[in-house]
Structure 1
Amino acid sequence: MSISVTTWHLEQTSPADLFPAQAPPAEQGVRIVRAEVPSPEFSRFLYTAVGGDIRWTDRLTWPYAQWAEFLGRPGTETWVAYEHGTPAGFVELAAEADGSVEITYFGLIPAFRGRRIGGHLLTYGVERAWDLAERWPGRAPAKRVWLHTCSKDGPHAMANYQRRGFRLYETTVTEEDEIPAPGPWPGAGPLTAGHTAGE
């Protein structure tokens, strides 16, 4: 059975476009740290833990070498949000040769959604996209930060991006085979209904 999937492409063209979200209270113990050592095991954990209930499936078939090659590319970064030492979500950045930085993935593990972490993590990730060149000698400063989201994603994702100052620049509609949500690992099944990535 096929379904219609709408994909929205959004962008910022200046650091001034960002509208920061308020950070969670200090007692919540939220901190954001860059995973500086490329780790396919850790990145795949984040990918499946965040995307298991919202049909993130495109990387499930990646072999170890493909994960390692992607994560090892200059200008690729993974920033992880922790709440009291436990991973809560992540934002993945990928610099491009034309001066763009793509937010390739962003979201929260279901148990951490609705806890005022998503807007803060997205804000931090966008700031790191804009200053990414400072951490990669020889790379030109970012000219644009962009991402895409789709109708399979959580219902609050689009609003979160727009609240942070992203502007819609392209919309496409495609037909795709309907795929059940795989859950975070085989046999786990979809997680609690009503939770959405990046909330």
Structure 2
Amino acid sequence: MRHVLCRVTVMIPASCTTFYLELPAPREDLAPALPPRMVVDEVTPPDWRLNRRLYHLVGDGWQWEDLDEATDEEWQKRIADPTLRTWTATVGDTLVGYFELHRPDHVTTEIRYLGLCPGWTDQKLGGPLLGEALRKAWGWPGTRRVWVHTCTLDHPSALANYQARGMVLYHQVEC
């Protein structure tokens, strides 16, 4: 039996920049509606296994690493938190993306994670998905501010997408 070894080269940037953006008031005029073929549903009841799967499915290609070492128990606790809510996006029967909203102080909602599944990132669905995340954030009674952070390791259009929806840069960190 012959084995072929492959050499994979991964380019890790020497540095990255993290951008913090906020939307202090709703801006429906900048949030495109979902295309008719796309459906966004809240995950109820919460399902930690699904959230973990979504996190890796969407985030592995963008070097999301903050939850890589989380245990099953940590995932269960995280998803059981009533200040965290999750939505999935589908086209037909196909999962195409998701987002999580987190509001620990009952007034400031963070778009914790938002992204499209591999193969769906260049289908012009990112703007509508973000628009829906913003609508859900502002529709959560008591929300007075929505914020998000992204970085130069995310999809090349991520920062521009947030800004196109009216989100304003308020802080930036070199990492």
Provide the TM-score with structure 1 as the length reference.
Answer: 0.78
Task: Give distance in 2, aligned partners of 1:18 and 1:91.
Answer: 21
Letter in 1 for 2:103: A
Deviates most, 150-159 or 67-76: 67-76
Q: How many residues align?
A: 164
Question: Which of 1 and 2 has greater Rg?
Answer: 2
TM-fit CA distance, 1:146: 0.2
Contact 2:48/2:75, CA 8 A, preserved across alignment: yes
Q: Please name the residue that 1:4 is paired with.
A: 15
Q: In structure 2, list runs of 5 or more residues that go unmatched.
A: 1-11
| 8 Å Cα contact 2:30-2:164 kept in structure 1 | yes
TM-score of the superposed pair, with normalisation by structure 2: 0.88
Kept in 2, the 8 Å contact 1:17–1:166? The answer is: no
C-alpha distance after superposition, 1:116-139 (max 9, x if no partner): 221111111111111112xxxxxx
CA deviations 1:90-121 (Å, max 9, x no partner) are 01000121610000000001211222221111
2: distance between equivalents of 1:16 and 1:114?
24
In the alignment, the residues of structure 1 paired with residue 118 and residue 32 of structure 2 have an alpha-carbon distance, to the nearest angstrom, of 20
**Would you say the 8 A contact 1:18–1:166 is kept in 2?**
no
- Note the 1:1-199 alignment, pairs <5 A: 3-16=14-27, 19-24=30-35, 26=36, 29-97=37-105, 99-133=107-141, 141-174=142-175
* AA partner of residue 3 (structure 1): A
Contact 2:27 2:165 in 1 (8 A): no
Partner of 1:188: none
Deviation by residue 1:9-61 (Cα, 9 ceiling, x = unmatched): 0000111376112432x3xx311100011212111111111111110111111
Gaps of 5+ in 1: 134-140, 175-199
Q: Which residue is equivalent to 1:189?
A: none
Check whether the contact 1:18–1:165 (CA below 8 A) recurs between aligned residues. Answer: no
Question: 1:2/1:115 Cα in 2 relative to 1: closer, same or farther (>3 Å)?
Answer: closer
Moved over 3 A (4+): none
Instruction: Kindly indicate whether the alpha-carbon contact (under 8 Å) linking 1:88 and 1:108 is maintained by their aligned counterparts in 2.
Output: yes
